[in-house]
Amino acid sequence: MTEPHDAVEVIIAKRGGDPLTDSQIDWVVDAYTRGVVRDEQMSALAMAILLNGMSRHEISRWTDAMISSGERMDLSAISRPTADKHSTGGVGDKITLPLAPLVAACGVAVPQLSGRGLGHTGGTLDKLEAIPGWRAAISNEEFHAQLESVGAVICAAGAGLAPADKKLYALRDVTGTVEAIPLIASSIMSKKIAEGSGALVLDVKVGTGAFMKDLAKARELAETMVALGTDAGTNTVALLTDMSTPLGLTAGNALEVTESVEVLAGGGPADVVELTLALAREMLAGAGKSDVDPAEVLASGAAMDAWKAMIAAQGGDPDATLPVARENHVVTAPADGVLTRLDAMAVGLAAWRLGAGRAALGDPVQAGAGVVWHARPGDTVTAGQPLMTLHTDEPERFERALAALDGGYDVSPAGTPYEATPLIIDRISAG
């Protein structure tokens, strides 16, 4: 086979700041997937993209090429409208767990292909695997049947979905090009567009515990992804949400499942409920169901019924007792006063070091490990009261977890004014 381009030509074009042609983009993504373009060549191109950027058209074409490297899911046979949600990841971000069954209970099908955690951010599949019997891997036939009967599926993506992304993602991780917004956006959106949902809501986190720590960069990423979804014909919006303080009161797999069930039962932390309802409203609007009030559906118990059906359909026992870590350690408040800061990154690192996360893909995780915090910024605390409880099966992990938390929270004198950052910072749409 005679190749229509060569890798060096494409690298030099982008290195010089020239826009890549459609033909160059289509070829280089396909040729990299086939092994014709080598890793070192794609590394050079990724760095050129990081340094020189891409136009909206280039990113859209690059995303199309990533999608074309694999299969597209066809959800046209599903009898109700479809909507999906993607979060860029954070600490205590268990929102998918109550959100998917809630939206399903509102009459919209949710085909949620999720991932595993890496580093300080937890993975949705890791959380659900804390439930005895639940399985992440299901066949396409099971996927469609469950989406029709239950209305919600949370599962692992199959190998056939955007295989170019899987290969390029691993390369970016070891070449200092993870931060390239065109490559982040096309990585996320190639999989989400290939998934075939009619509507997509993006939860783009910003703050110390988020991948994007800078508001301007987070906004650029959100705008880029909304444009990609719009160009592909998917009704796409994004919410910019705060991730300087961890979400809810727990970080850890079984701990977050328990908190999610509390939300479905009508309780749970106010911030988790707020974000779940905000994202649900966006998903329902995108699917043409703006007339349904998710708060009323949540209060009715219908979302809990959908949760139990969703878990049972994938082999899980929704009523089973969840794993509990064998050891715990209590961190107490150092003084009387007001908790004015609880750093999401510090909490996320502590949970990771306790065994709730993994350093490399394939590492095992502890279902019961993690952190529970007993106060949130703005709360009054007294010296010696429990501030956080650390959970792990391996007590030798406590030392490094405590080191992660050192300097990760502030208790200020009583009366110190505290102004909370809004959880939802902005909404970005194609308009």
pLDDT tens digits for 13-41? 999 999 999 999 999 999 999 999 999 99
pLDDT tens for each residue of 289-328: 999 999 999 999 999 999 999 999 999 999 999 999 999 9
Secondary structure of residue 424 in the 3-state scheme: strand
By three-state DSSP, how is residue 125 classified?
Answer: helix
Alpha helices of 200-301 — where are they, by DSSP H?
215-231, 253-264, 270-286, 294-300
**Residue 17 DSSP SS3:** coil
For residue 92, is it left (φ>0), alpha (ψ between -120 and 50) or beta? Answer: left
Kindly report, residue by residue over 139-148, the tens digit of the pLDDT: 999 999 999 9
Q: Top-level CATH class of 327-412?
A: alpha beta
Using 50, 70 and 90 to split pLDDT, how confident is the model at 157? Answer: confident
Task: Give 169's pLDDT tier (boundaries 50, 70, 90).
Answer: confident
Mean pLDDT for 125-134 is 96
Tokens, residue 409: 């929270």
How confident is the model over 223-248, as a mean pLDDT?
Answer: 96
Dihedral angle computed from the Cα positions of residues 271, 179, 426 and 216, in that order, rounded to the nearest 10 degrees? 130
pTM (global) more than 0.75: yes
Do 349 and 370 contact (CB within 8 A), yes or no?
no
Contact between 408 and 342 under an 8 Å Cβ cutoff? The reply is yes
* Closest to 276 measured CA to CA, from 299, 255, 310: 299
With CA atoms as reference, report the closest residue to 251 among 325, 157, 361, 311: 325
How far apart (Å, rounded) are the C-alpha atoms in residues 255 and 347?
Answer: 14
Q: Output the pLDDT for position 172.
A: 87
- Rounded distance, CA 294 to CA 30, Å? 43
Mean pLDDT of 186-193: 93
| End-to-end CA gap in the chain | 45
**Which SS3 state, helix, strand or coil, does residue 34 take?**
helix
| Predicted pLDDT of residue 116 | 79
Residue type, 63: T
Q: What is the pLDDT of residue 2?
A: 84
Predicted confidence band at 128 (pLDDT cuts at 50, 70, 90)?
A: very high
Helix, coil or strand: residue 212: strand
Q: What share of the chain is helix, strand, coil (3-state, %, to 5)?
A: 45, 15, 40
Q: Residue 425 CA to chain centroid, in angstroms?
A: 17
Q: What is the percent of the chain with per-residue pLDDT over 70, rounded to a whole number?
A: 99
Q: Does the domain at residues 83-158+194-320 carry the CATH identifier 3.40.1030.10? A: yes
pLDDT at 119 > cutoff 70: no
Residues 146-155 have a mean pLDDT of 97
Q: What is the mean pLDDT of residues 99-118?
A: 92
pLDDT tens, residue by residue, 193-235: 999 999 999 999 999 999 899 999 999 999 999 999 999 999 9
Query: How many other C-beta atoms are found inside a 10 Å radius of the C-beta of residue 103?
Result: 34
Q: Domain spans of the chain?
A: 83-158+194-320, 327-412
Pairing of strands 199-206, 235-242: parallel
Q: Which are the catalytic amino acids? A: 86, 165, 172, 187, 191
Task: Output DSSP code: residue 352.
Answer: I
* C-alpha to C-alpha distance for 351 and 358, rounded to whole angstroms: 10
**Alpha carbons 401 and 269: distance in angstroms, whole number:** 24
Residues 347-368: tens digit of each pLDDT: 999 999 999 988 776 788 999 9
CA nearest to 95, candidates 8, 13, 223, 203: 203
Sign of the dihedral defined by the CA atoms of residues 95, 97, 102, 103, in that order? positive
- Top pLDDT among 171 and 367 is at 367
- Computed over every residue of the chain, the mean pLDDT equals 95
Instruction: Output the pLDDT for position 78.
Output: 96
Q: List beta partners, residue 87.
A: 203
How far does CA 361 lie from the centroid of its chain?
Answer: 16
pLDDT confidence bin for 118, thresholds 50/70/90 = low
- How many residues are there in the chain? 431
